[in-house]
Amino acid sequence: EPEVTQTPSHQVTQMGQEVILRCVPISNHLYFYWYRQILGQKVEFLVSFYNNEISEKSEIFDDQFSVERPDGSNFTLKIRSTKLEDSAMYFCASSGGRATNEKLFFGSGTQLSVL
C-alpha cells in the first residue's frame, strides 16, 4: 500500500528556533493535513491544505505556523519560533478526497522536542 513519508523522525531544537517538518504525501492525493499529539493527549488537527491553499485550520494554527507545498511533491510545516509547548509528535496525512468520509493516510510522524 502507498505510504506517506515524513522526515525527520526526530527533531530537537532550542526554544525560539525555526523548524521545518517535511512530508511527502501519496502522489495522486489532493488533500493534505497536519495533526499533532502532545504526549498523553488527543491527536489534534492543525491544518488542511487543498489546491495550494489552506482549506481549514484550527485555533492551534496561529501566525507561528505555516504550510507550503513548494514543489508539487513535498508538503511542509514550518514553526517560526518554537515554544516549549510545541513539543509533540507531528503527523502528516493525505487523502484522495475530502476527509468527510475518505480515509486518511498518515505518515509515521516527527517527534519534535523543544528545549
Partner 1 sequence: AQSVAQPEDQVNVAEGNPLTVKCTYSVSGNPYLFWYVQYPNRGLQFLLKYITGDNLVKGSYGFEAEFNKSQTSFHLKKPSALVSDSALYFCAVRDDRGGSYIPTFGRGTSLIVHP
Residues contributing to the site for partner 1 (CB under 8 A): 3-4, 6, 33, 35, 37, 40-45, 48, 55-56, 91, 93, 98-101, 103-109
Identity of the residue, 10 or 83, whose beta carbon is nearer to partner 1 in the bound complex: 10
Tell me the closest approach of the beta carbon of residue 14 to partner 1, in angstroms: 26
Contact 94, 32 (CB under 8 A): yes
Residue closer to partner 1, measured from CB, 27 or 41: 41
* Dihedral, CA of residue 36, residue 78, residue 8 and residue 40, to nearest 10: -20
Give the up-direction half-sphere exposure of residue 90: CA atoms within 13 A in the CB hemisphere: 33
Of 88, 89, 115, nearest to 14 by C-alpha is 115
Minimum distance, C-beta of residue 52 to partner 1, in the bound complex (Å): 17
Q: Give least dist CB 33 to partner 1, A.
A: 7
* Residue number, 59 or 63, with CB nearest to partner 1: 59
| Minimum distance, C-beta of residue 4 to partner 1, in the bound complex (Å) | 6
Is residue 30 exposed (0-12), middle (13-18) or buried (19+ Cβ within 10 Å)?
A: middle
